Structure formats: structure tokens, C-alpha cells
């Protein structure tokens, strides 16, 4: 009987200790969750900048490593050179756009003050367009003949569009400033790349073991491939468009070049700019000049269809379709940041799904 009582008492003591241990674990988890929540609140205003900095650091790391070796293992100088080069690539096109926009506004204001501002007459070729050509030709000439009354008639819509445009420009300005700060911060991340990489591997191993380390490497490879396949190709197409605009002396070529780059980054392509310019060229230039411009512009519009599959699938086992869906879906859902986060999330999810669905089955004992 005494042994039975001792067993019951031991069970009670063990149960009591187990309950106390679980309560202690819950308290610890609650404290960790509370501090995690407070930390997220504190860093939330800077989260976008930090995420962008991390993405840029991962994307630029191969260039940084090569430049650092070339400079005799001087990581600080290599990071400084890369940051300055990135800032020049960002600021120079924006400065060109700003100068062209300011010149266009100054010219328009001057003509309005001198009452010499007139719109060009509609090209006669528009009348030959099927279905809508005659109507467009008539409305165009009506607006050209009496511009003042047209502006007064559509005053409210014009003011609404102008206000929305100014608000959008202010938003773009804030985004550009945040991106500049992200570029500078990525330089600090590059100088600490070895320690950061070791820390990420330790955290990934604690979370998912060896497979977690593999997912971390997959994320890094995806970022670099998307950078080459999307940003790199966008820069190439933008550069080719800028050369074409300069050779043919296209008006407002700085603004058009900037719009081409944005369209290429968000996966819409330069066709939305090049096709209207080609149509305008066939009406404004001699046929031979318009033909040459068209021959040069068409390959620029389709070069991404050749380069993207090669660059974005390099070194990845994830199917190209998954990466493209991530790029397009992420851009549509979260803007420029989703351009990188989309393919990373889908690639990791695809690998998780493949590991779960095709894991080796343990044969049951006979």
C-alpha cells in the first residue's frame, strides 16, 4: 500500500512539475512574442528600406566580391565604388528627366504668356484610318482652332488630372529618396557580408536544419537571377531605347527613356512607348527614316523574350514558369518590391511542396 501511495504521489508531483514547466514555457514565449511585436513596431517605418537594402546587397554581392579582389581585398573601397555607381545610375536619368520637364514647362508657360501657344493641326493621314479616322481628325482640328474654349470646357477634369499627377509625382519622389537611402545602406551590408551570411545560415539551420540552409541559398540565387533577368535586361532595353531616341532626335527623349525603364521593370515592356513613337514617326518623318527607326525598334522590344529565360533560370532548379509568375504577380500586388519577393516566395513554396509531395516513402514492414 505504501508503494502504491508513493507512486500516486510521484505521479502527482510529476504532473505538477510538467504543468509548471509548460506554464513557464508559455510565459517565456509570451515575453518573446511581446518583445518581437514591440521590435516590429519600432522598425516598421524603416522596414521597406531595410528589405530593399538586403535585396540590393544580395544582388550586388558577386560584383562586390570581384571588385574587392581586384582592388586587393579592400571591401570598404569596393562597396563605396558600387554605391557611388548605383547612385549615378539613379540620379543621372532622373536629372535628365527633370531638366527636360522643366524646359518643356518653361517653353509652354512662355507661349501661354505671349498667347502664341497653338497645337499642331491634325495630319491628313488620320482621315484614312478606318472607322474613327474622320472623327479624330475633326475633333483634333476643333481643339486646335479654339484651344482656350476647350480648356475652359474641360477645366474641372483638367484640374483633377493635374492634382492626381502632382500627388503621384510627390509619391514617386518619396520612393526615389527611400531607394537612395537603401542603396547607401546596402553598401554597409556589403562590407559586413561575411558576418551577415554566417548569421543567416545559423538562423536558417536553427529553423529548418540543412533544408533551411538550402532555402536560404535558394532565396539568394533567386534574387541574383531576378536582378540579372529583370533589372539587367531593363537597363539594356532602356539603354538601347535611349540611343535610338538620341539618334533620331525624338522630342522629350529623357522622359520617354525614364518611362521605358519603369515599363521594363514592371514587365510591360518598351512597346507601350516605342509603338506610339513609331506611329508618330511614320507621319512626321520621311518613309526611309521611319523604316530605319522601325527596324531598330522592333528587336529592342523583343530582346527580353530571349535574354530573360537564359538569365533568370541560370543555377536554379525551379521551373521558369514559377519564377515568371512570381515576378509578374509580385509586381502587380506589391509594386517594385514584389518584383523580388514574389519569385522568392513562390520558389521556396515550390521547393517545400516538392519536398513534401515527392519525399521518399518508408516501406512498411511485411
Specify whether the CB–CB gap between 180 and 83 falls below 8 A: no
For position 313, what pLDDT does the model report? 67
For position 293, what pLDDT does the model report? 92
Neighbours of 48 (CB within 10 A): 14
Measure Cα distances from 283 to 244, 257, 273, 287 in Å: 18, 21, 16, 9
Q: How far apart are CA 244 and CA 292, in angstroms?
A: 10
For position 59, what pLDDT does the model report? 80
DSSP state of 120: P
Q: How far apart are CA 315 and CA 312, in angstroms?
A: 9
For position 17, what pLDDT does the model report? 59
Q: How far apart are CA 331 and CA 338, in angstroms?
A: 5
Specify whether the CB–CB gap between 144 and 119 falls below 8 A: yes
Closest CA to 228 of 311, 327, 324: 311
Which residue is listed with cell 525614364?
Answer: 258
Give burial (CB, 10 Å; 0-12/13-18/19+) of 248.
middle
Series of mean pLDDT values for 10-residue runs along the chain (366 residues): 51 59 80 84 79 82 88 89 84 67 68 61 71 76 64 66 66 68 87 83 77 77 76 85 89 80 79 90 87 91 82 71 78 71 77 65 45
Neighbours of 6 (CB within 10 A): 10
pTM of this prediction?
0.62
Specify whether the CB–CB gap between 246 and 268 falls below 8 A: no
Cite the DSSP H helix spans in the chain: 2-70, 75-113, 133-145, 147-153, 155-191, 193-226, 233-247, 253-265, 271-284, 287-312, 320-357
CA dihedral 192, 197, 203, 205 (to 10 degrees): -160
187 alpha carbon, distance to own chain's centre: 19
Map out the domains of the chain as residue ranges: 45-108+166-191
For the record, the C-alpha cell of 349 comes out as 513554396
Amino acid at each position: 500500500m505504501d508503494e502504491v501511495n508513493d507512486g500516486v504521489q510521484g505521479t502527482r508531483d510529476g504532473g505538477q512539475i510538467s504543468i509548471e514547466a509548460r506554464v513557464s514555457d508559455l510565459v517565456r514565449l509570451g515575453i518573446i512574442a511581446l518583445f518581437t511585436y514591440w521590435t516590429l513596431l519600432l522598425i516598421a517605418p524603416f522596414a521597406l528600406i531595410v528589405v530593399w537594402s538586403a535585396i540590393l546587397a544580395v544582388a550586388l554581392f558577386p560584383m562586390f566580391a570581384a571588385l574587392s579582389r581586384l582592388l586587393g581585398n579592400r571591401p570598404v573601397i569596393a562597396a563605396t565604388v558600387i554605391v557611388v555607381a548605383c547612385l549615378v545610375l539613379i540620379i543621372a536619368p532622373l536629372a535628365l528627366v527633370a531638366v527636360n520637364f522643366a524646359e518643356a514647362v518653361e517653353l509652354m508657360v512662355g507661349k501661354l504668356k505671349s498667347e502664341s501657344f497653338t497645337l499642331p493641326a491634325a495630319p491628313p493621314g488620320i482621315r484614312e484610318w478606318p472607322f474613327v479616322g474622320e472623327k479624330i481628325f475633326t475633333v483634333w482640328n476643333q481643339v486646335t482652332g479654339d484651344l482656350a474654349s476647350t480648356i475652359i470646357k474641360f477645366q474641372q477634369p483638367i484640374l483633377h488630372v493635374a492634382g492626381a499627377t502632382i500627388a503621384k509625382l510627390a509619391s514617386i519622389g518619396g520612393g526615389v529618396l527611400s531607394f537612395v537611402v537603401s542603396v547607401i545602406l546596402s553598401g554597409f551590408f556589403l562590407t559586413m557580408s561575411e558576418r551577415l551570411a554566417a548569421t543567416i545560415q545559423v538562423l536558417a539551420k536553427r529553423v529548418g536544419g540543412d533544408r533551411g540552409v538550402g532555402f536560404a541559398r535558394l532565396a539568394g540565387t533567386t534574387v541574383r537571377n531576378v536582378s540579372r533577368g529583370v533589372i539587367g535586361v531593363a537597363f539594356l532595353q532602356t539603354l538601347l531605347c535611349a540611343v535610338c531616341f538620341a539618334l533620331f532626335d525624338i522630342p522629350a527623349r529623357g522622359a520617354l527613356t525614364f518611362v521605358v525603364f519603369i515599363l521594363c521593370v514592371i514587365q510591360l515592356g518598351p512597346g507601350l512607348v516605342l509603338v506610339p513613337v513609331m506611329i508618330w514617326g511614320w507621319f512626321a518623318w520621311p518613309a526611309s527614316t521611319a523604316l530605319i527607326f522601325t527596324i531598330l525598334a522592333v528587336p529592342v522590344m523583343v530582346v527580353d523574350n530571349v535574354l530573360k529565360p537564359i538569365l533568370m533560370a541560370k543555377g536554379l532548379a525551379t521551373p521558369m514558369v514559377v519564377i515568371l509568375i512570381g515576378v509578374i504577380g509580385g509586381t502587380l500586388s506589391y509594386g517594385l518590391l514584389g518584383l523580388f519577393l514574389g519569385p522568392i516566395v513562390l520558389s521556396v513554396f515550390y521547393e517545400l511542396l516538392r519536398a513534401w509531395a515527392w519525399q521518399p516513402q518508408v516501406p512498411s514492414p511485411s
